[in-house]
Amino acid sequence: MGKADIHDVAKAAGVSISTVSRAFTRPELVSAKTRAKVLAVADQLDFNISRSATALKSGRTNRVALLMNESITSWFNTQVFAGLESAMHPAGYDISLFQHIDTAENRRDFFTNLPIRRNVDAVVVASFAIDPHEVEQLRRIHVPIVGINIPSDEGFDASVSIDDEEGMRKATQHLIGLGHHRIVYPCSEAVKNLDASIDARTRGFVRACEEAEDRHDIDWRVLTVPRGPEFVDSALAALLALDEFPDAICCQMDMMAIPLMVKLERYGHRTPRDYSIIGFDDSPYADTLNLTTMRQDPYAMGRKAALKALDLMQGKTLETPHETVEAQLVLRGTDAPYHG
Amino acid sequence: MGKADIHDVAKAAGVSISTVSRAFTRPELVSAKTRAKVLAVADQLDFNISRSATALKSGRTNRVALLMNESITSWFNTQVFAGLESAMHPAGYDISLFQHIDTAENRRDFFTNLPIRRNVDAVVVASFAIDPHEVEQLRRIHVPIVGINIPSDEGFDASVSIDDEEGMRKATQHLIGLGHHRIVYPCSEAVKNLDASIDARTRGFVRACEEAEDRHDIDWRVLTVPRGPEFVDSALAALLALDEFPDAICCQMDMMAIPLMVKLERYGHRTPRDYSIIGFDDSPYADTLNLTTMRQDPYAMGRKAALKALDLMQGKTLETPHETVEAQLVLRGTDAPYHG
DNA sequence: TTGAAAGCGATACCAA
DNA sequence: TTGGTATCGCTTTCAA
């Protein structure tokens, strides 16, 4: 028991192994009676088709690789994974996860050894600044390569990215449109060649401010603080040290905005009464705590990437291989018109 | 190209396929020179050992199943997954994820069809109240079954669980020890047979209160609110509707405690000045927002479960198949002695 | 509708 | 140290 193979089932059902195989994967080619018999016997013997054998025979692996920066535990990565999974699992694919492809060492390791070579049917690269040489290496796997939030389409068969710069520009314009004058952008340092979206967001903020300078009298600044677990407190301190407290705060992400608004209240600065604050992501607690923010939907991006990969694996040609989605302004309770 | 197989490599390297195979998986059985030659040729031809073929030949699948309640995107599930992955990936196993094994329909579906039968080398069941009959079905897969936070060890080859009841009892005792008198436990309804840990935590709270009643003059109550996206606001409303505001709030999880403390402040109730509040989990923001809480470490539980599964797959016998870990009190800034 | 048999790509035993 | 070969479990063509 627990050892029944296709021959055992065939024998017990009084048919050939071909018929057993067909009963599972080509039911329409087997008479209803035979099929019922086979499936009943199979269930009794705890038999099931072996995915390894099917894979070997078919030449496919039924596996896709997901490469990501950092850990899957970040909000963004988890959502991407879940989105991918939502389409890949039903299609019969497992996701082979490669985390922490970020340090120089890990990257060299991965891209030169290519452990996934000949062992995945597609590769999805999630949100990191992969360099052209690395893409080049990836192509040697000879399977579709799909990117999510990658800095350049070059070398990718498909991609779906959010326009971080435009998203942050919209966020900033919203604050300016509300009449705010003193706008601060607290921001943790970006790691070079890694946090493409952090840089893009900062650019969006700066651009919006520069564009508005002609028409509005605004005083804006980027407040860069060191990376690390203390980045919120660093930003808080920097904010409180300002000669004049801002009337609007534009945050690179909700993880900055949420603790900031909570802590600022303890110092007497209450939003939206005293200042407006806007986040980016629409991540956990943004809703409950009523944070106005720019929504991005990494789950949807993961799912779209999966659908594209699925099509490519079937040899289809995509109508729109490369897609850009926009962040959406979600108005909630932390923004209000300026009332000097 | 991209189509080189083991024969091509063998030919190009002037050796047999046996030698190519050994160069990859039994390097010590091949002369250094031959091996170097083979590997060089293989790299050039973009060749790599096929996991499907290896799996077929070896009889193993190099795949484990992870069954979970709800979605992988919850904090707990993500951490468990990451912990599992941290041990499984290096060992060469993929994780085949089955989410949402929660509704009656999905459960019946999964446990009667057993899609993983003969296709995984182990099963990990994460944190849900699987019933004995379902475990019975699972056993038909004839592979090790490891549980994480399962209600009963019965039928499991190994498990690692947190003692929710004892954890919440400790949390409550801490509040009582601080001298608090009016203690409220806001709690969202548990789904029967699903949220084992919610029930256990409530029991822990009740037990601690009952045990203390002799020695202390305490007024405690469980405030049950409906499940759903509004559960925090429901709890907030119920709290504010109380004749007298409590001096201590004991929460079933951080996701209750965090928004609650933020919102209560807007109503003039500030912690720890006016009341103490304690969470459970030590999930994101607990640290940054300085929440006193009971820490559980689902990453570690996932990893431990993986290690146990790995041992079991190798046929080893575990010294301590079933393990219980305790939640740890993490003292931060939201608790203070009662000062009526 | 069903059966026989070749073959997918590696592994490991047995020989050399 | 290396090579030949049977074998893992299934799919699929071809024949019956």
Encode A39-81 in three state secondary structure: HHHHHHCCCCCCHHHHHHHHCCCCEEEEEECCCCCCHHHHHHH
Q: Which residue of A has its CA nearest to B86?
A: A99
Kindly list the residues from chain A whose CB atom is less than 8 angstroms away from the CB atom of residue B115: 48
For A122, other C-beta atoms within 10 Å of its C-beta total 26
Write the CB contacts of A260 (distance below 8 Å, at least 6 apart in sequence). Answer: A186, A232, A235, A236, A239, A249, A251, A277
Nucleotide nearest to B21 in CA–C1' terms: C10
Q: What is the token pair recorded at A242?
A: 């300002």
- The span from the CA of B275 to the CA of B174, in Å, is 14
pLDDT value for A5: 83
Is A94 in contact with B99 (Cβ distance < 8 A)? no
Listed residue (A290, A281, A283) closest to A261, CA to CA: A290
Which stretches of chain A drop beneath a pLDDT of 70?
Answer: 1-3, 192-194
Helix axes B196-212, B164-177, angle to 10 degrees: 40
Nearest to A52 among B55, B82, B258 (CB): B55
Residue with tokens 């939907």: A297
Q: Do domains A63-162+298-325 and A164-296 have the same CATH topology?
A: yes
CA of B156 to C1' of C8 (A): 37
Count of CB contacts below 8 A, A vs B? 115
Quick one: closest CA in A to B94, which residue?
A96
DSSP state of A318: P
Phi, psi of B266 (to 5 degrees): -65, -20
Secondary structure (DSSP) of A169-214: HHHHHHHHHTT--EEEEEEEPPPTTT-HHHHHHHHHHHHHHHHHTT
Q: What pLDDT does B1 receive?
A: 42
Q: Which amino acid is at B203?
A: R
3-state secondary structure chain B: CCCCCHHHHHHHHCCCHHHHHHHHHCHHHCCHHHHHHHHHHHHHCCCCCCHHHHHHHHCCCCEEEEEECCCCCCHHHHHHHHHHHHHHCCCCCEEEEECCCCCHHHHHHHHHHCCCCCCCCEEEEECCCCCHHHHHHHHCCCCCEEEECCCCCCCCCEEEEECHHHHHHHHHHHHHHCCCCEEEEEEECCCCCCCHHHHHHHHHHHHHHHHHCCCCCCEEEEEEECCCCCHHHHHHHHHHCCCCCCCEEECCCHHHHHHHHHHHHHCCCCCCCCCEEEEEECCCCCCCCCCCEEECCHHHHHHHHHHHHHHHHCCCCCCCCEEEECCEEECCCCCCCCCC
Beta carbons of B35 and B13 less than 8 angstroms apart: no
Torsion of CA A17, A21, A23, A25, to 10 degrees: -170
CA distances from B195 to B156, B198, B257, B283 (A): 19, 5, 18, 18
> Which of B50, B262, B284 has the CB atom closest to A284's CB atom?
B284
Rounded to a whole number, what is the distance in Å from the CA of A172 to chain B's nearest CA? 25
Q: Inter-chain contact B114–A1, Cβ cutoff 8 Å?
A: no
pLDDT (0 to 100) of residue B248: 98
**A46, B262: Cβ pair inside 8 Å?**
no
Q: Which of A56, A71, A85 sits opposite B52 (nearest CB)?
A: A56
What is the least distance, in Å, from the CA of A215 to any CA of chain B?
36
Q: What is the pLDDT of residue B194?
A: 63
CB within 7 A of nucleic chain C = A 14-19, 22, 29-31, 33-35, 53, 56-57, 59, 118; B 5-6, 17-18, 21, 24-26, 47-50, 52-54, 56-58
- For residue B128, the tally of other CB atoms under 10 A from its CB is 24
Q: Can you name the CATH fold of B164-296?
A: Rossmann fold (3.40.50)
Contacts (Cβ under 8 Å, ≥6 apart) of A230: none
Is-cis flag, bond preceding A272, omega within 30? yes
The gap between the terminal CA atoms of chain B, to the nearest Å, is: 79
CA distance A311 to chain B (A): 20
Distance between A77 CA and the closest CA of chain B, angstroms: 10
Q: Is A325 helix (H, G, I), strand (E, B) or coil?
A: strand
CATH of segment(s) B6-49? 1.10.260
Domain layout of chain A by residue ranges: 6-49, 63-162+298-325, 164-296
CATH of A63-162+298-325, one of 3.40.50.620, 3.30.360.10, 3.40.50.2300, 3.40.50.1820: 3.40.50.2300
**Amino acid identity, position B332:** R
CA distance A95 to A78: 13
C1'-nearest nucleotide to the CA of A10: C3
- Other CB atoms within 10 Å distance of the CB of residue A72: 23
Q: Test A258 with B53 for CB contact under 8 angstroms.
A: no
Q: Select the residue from B50, B81, B93, B118 to test the A interface by mutation, using most A Cβ atoms within 10 A.
A: B118
CA-based end-to-end distance of chain A: 79
What angle separates helix B104-113 from helix B132-139, to the nearest 10 degrees?
30
pLDDT score, position B211: 95
| Cβ-based burial of A145 (10 A; exposed 0-12, middle 13-18, buried ≥19) | buried
Each of the 340 residues of chain B gets a pLDDT tens digit; together they read 446 888 889 989 999 898 999 999 888 888 889 999 999 999 989 899 999 999 999 999 999 999 999 999 999 999 999 999 999 999 999 999 999 998 889 999 999 889 999 899 999 999 878 889 999 999 999 999 999 999 899 999 999 999 999 999 999 999 999 999 999 999 998 776 667 788 999 999 999 999 999 888 899 999 999 999 899 999 999 999 999 999 999 999 999 999 999 999 999 999 999 999 999 999 999 999 999 999 999 999 999 999 999 999 999 999 999 999 999 999 999 999 998 7
**B68 pairs with which residues across the strands?**
B126
Contact (CB<8Å) A73/B51: no
Q: Nearest nucleotide to B26 by CA–C1' distance?
A: C11
Residue B211 to residue A276: CA distance in whole angstroms: 48
Residue A192's pLDDT is what? Answer: 66
Contacts of A50 in chain B (CB under 8 A): 56, 61, 118-119
Q: Which nucleotides of C are covered by protein (CB under 7 A)?
A: 1-5, 7-13
Token code pair at residue B289: 């927002």
